[in-house]
A and B are shown apart, each in its own frame.
Chain A
Amino acid sequence: KAGVTQTPRYLIKTRGQQVTLSCSPISGHRSVSWYQQTPGQGLQFLFEYFSETQRNKGNFPGRFSGRQFSNSRSEMNVSTLELGDSALYLCASNPIVAGGTDTQYFGPGTRLTVL
């Protein structure tokens, strides 16, 4: 099976712009989670989508949003970009099988730089 894919891999934006990142989970996985990784704050949970519904959310401002499509692909959007949004954004997928694992499988990430 192909792994988790994220596009684009690198992105440069300026303050005030908005950005959309995409994540395709492993085939058959229905849960997608997003994380932000920065040198100062480490890895922080943004949100999780399952069956097109956000079912868990971290402590981030409303500028960060996401959605999931019927094929389980997910997008996250950041509006009104700030310099502090520069980070590696990681997507992870999870099979969510009954009685099964909560293991998450990570993509390579999208490196966002805000100038």
Chain B
Amino acid sequence: AQSVTQLDSHVSVSEGTPVLLRCNYSSSYSPSLFWYVQHPNKGLQLLLKYTSAATLVKGINGFEAEFKKSETSFHLTKPSAHMSDAAEYFCVVSDLLAGANNLFFGTGTRLTVIP
């Protein structure tokens, strides 16, 4: 079965400090992993995607994530938080055997950025 666990429901950082949003996944096979961001009253925007190429994936807006198979983790990081980063972040897994378009979402991490 496929699933993701986002280890923190809420993360608060000061503007200009690093961001770390943690995600662990469970998948029977080699998964595709994604991070999406959702700003208030908006849809989901893709930040980045891992598909078994490079383990360090660079996304938009300075975000990146590292796939670590031994730890079954896919944590999202950013060196310096900006006020506009305040949003809800979702770690997502898909599995070809389950149907590539059936995404399994984590429960989300709300990022607050303190000025």
Contacts and interface: CB of A to CB of B under 8 A. Distances in A.
A106 B43 contact: yes
Interface string A52-94: 0001101000000000000000000000000000000010101
B108 A107 contact: no
Nearest to B49: A103
A24 B86 CA distance: 29
A50 B102 CA distance: 13
A114 to B, nearest CB: 19
A interface SS class: strand
Interface residues of B, number: 24
B107 A42 contact: yes
Interface of A: 4, 31, 33, 35, 42-45, 48, 50, 55-56, 58, 90, 92, 94, 101-109, 111
Given A42-B108, A43-B105, A107-B43, 6 more contacts: A33-B102, A42-B107, A92-B44, A102-B101, A104-B101, A108-B42
